[in-house]
A and B are shown apart, each in its own frame.
Chain A
């Protein structure tokens, strides 16, 4: 069986400057992929290209017909929406032109909110929700679409630690149930703790991908964030974690600048 999402030699540029180029990416079913990279490295652009919102300047993306859901970082609806109404929009693909969501759709929408521990958001107006609450609603919206591919743009950016763990654990479960899931994040720990696969976007033509343990070395992370990063194995835990040494930035030690923008 071929992967539900495959991209070859992908390139995108704004004006003359390439955001990324020669990028190969494939998302197998049952796999959770984390995408890491500094601000402005093109993570969101990559997701937009993979989902078909943007047409790649170079290369090609092949998507299977099994549906793809993209969870944007944020959304400003022009007219008032309740949380439940927003989640229901996720069913749009399955609802024919002249019909509206039925009882089954409402049930699925409420279940998706419950799955995200966000049932209380159903009747709240979307425009007065906090950033984190909006993210939960948008993830629920992607869940009810029953797509085989789920792309999430910084799904944990506005969430507290408990909800970060909850959402990432949910993504893990979704991948284990056979979905192809990719998310962008600024926390290497997310990749180390949950992901099967990581894509590191270090520069327009410098991408590394592989198993998180291998790719996210102290050297690679230190270079990526231009800041000393320590990998620690905590006693009593099977996994290891990555800790940024923010003070290292102040003292200017341990980083060999690579001249990256």
Chain B
């Protein structure tokens, strides 16, 4: 489908989808607000429209739904970009942030935070520390940025080791947790949810995800070049070490930021880049930007479904897995025999 959609058409279409998702998500919920009212409330500060809505509706949109929709967009964009970067770096279309062990490390950090000091700030700072520590550990195991030939294999194996340590640590933490208060909090957080979104969580997530997105979008061309193989890329003059170090750091940062505010929301980094490739191709110019936009829309829509499908809220992480696994299975069958990694 490389010849499918050309040039700017794809990002424009994806931007339109993103705007539509935002409107839809702000409108839907236990308290439905018509799309026209949503538009009026959003545009009021700009155009000074005569109010035809109630103060409650304004409250629901700006205080309740807006932080959650914005957080879904940021987390979705960050996870999708992190996945896309990993897939190029590891030359494997099935790679994902969890390969690095960063999700697992960040989760362990968050759980430790909950265990020691409770939910909220301790969990958040724990996630950052755990995620970045996991990344540092992966790098140290793999021989740093100077990992020579077979460096990618070493990185994947190191990620596996770090991920296993994270999983074991989480199991221990659950065992040690107070079953009345801490354990439910840990389990709920690990399931992944955006229910706790507020403005503060936006301020925590936005800067690292922006930085990470800027790095990955900036590196787009040299990062794409990794897909032909590290040896060939080096031969072409791609600054392999610098690209790998920066892209890994960016992907790790985005993952840690996402885990910090939403727990483990899996599969986004895997599913979104695949859908983008399928629909819009993978050319150097637009692929990563398309992935960012699609990731934001994807998580907004899935989170909207999570809070509106049934009376009680479905954990977001469970829903992304439920949606991701079948899509992944289809992709896996298509890819069969095409990848040797």
Contacts and interface: CB of A to CB of B under 8 A. Distances in A.
Which among B235, B238, B341 has the highest number of chain A CB atoms within 10 Å?
B235
A99 interface: yes
Contacts of A123: 2-3
Interface residues of A, number: 35
B88 A79 contact: yes
A53 B283 CA distance: 27
Given A88-B284, A145-B236, A145-B237, A79 B221 contact: no
B149 to A, nearest CB: 10
Contact of B236 (A78, A82, A92, A101): A92
B213 to A, nearest CB: 13
B232 to A, nearest CB: 6
Nearest to A123: B3
Contacts of A69: 235-236
A261 interface: no
A81 B237 contact: no
A109 to B, nearest CB: 11
Interface residues of B, number: 39
Contacts of B238: 89, 92
A76 interface: yes
Given A78-B91, A80-B277, A89 B236 contact: yes
A75 B3 contact: no
B154 to A, nearest CB: 17
Contacts, number: 100
Contacts of A99: 218, 221
A79 B224 CA distance: 9
Contacts of B222: 92, 95, 97
B129 interface: no
Contact of A92 (B3, B92, B225, B231): B225
A79 B87 contact: yes
A74 to B, nearest CB: 11
Contacts of B211: none
Interface string B298-341: 00000000000000000000000000000000000000001111
Contact of B229 (A75, A100, A127): A75
B219 interface: yes
Given A72-B232, A123-B3, A80 B225 contact: no
A78 B239 contact: no
A98 B247 CA distance: 11
Which among A70, A90, A100, A123 has the highest number of chain B CB atoms within 10 Å?
A100
A15 interface: no
Nearest to A93: B237
Contact of B227 (A53, A72, A78): A78
A51 B231 CA distance: 11
Interface string A14-29: 0000000000000000
A85 interface: yes
A125 B88 CA distance: 17
A88 B341 CA distance: 25
Contacts of B338: 127
B285 interface: yes
Given A76-B340, A89-B228, A92-B236, A101 B284 contact: yes
Interface in B281-297: 281-285
A77 to B, nearest CB: 5
Nearest to B91: A78
Contacts of A82: 2-3, 281, 283
Interface of A: 51-53, 67, 69-70, 72, 75-82, 85-86, 88-90, 92-95, 97-101, 123-125, 127, 141, 145
Given A51-B235, A82-B281, A89-B224, 7 more contacts: A76-B340, A78-B227, A89-B228, A92-B237, A93-B236, A99-B218, A123-B3
Ordered nearest first, which 7 A-B pairs have the shortest CB separation? A93-B237, A98-B218, A78-B91, A100-B221, A79-B227, A92-B236, A82-B2
29 contacts: A53-B234, A75-B232, A76-B340, A77-B228, A78-B93, A78-B229, A79-B91, A79-B93, A81-B227, A82-B2, A82-B281, A85-B2, A85-B284, A89-B228, A89-B238, A92-B225, A92-B236, A97-B218, A97-B219, A97-B239, A97-B243, A98-B218, A100-B284, A101-B221, A124-B2, A125-B2, A125-B3, A145-B236, A145-B237
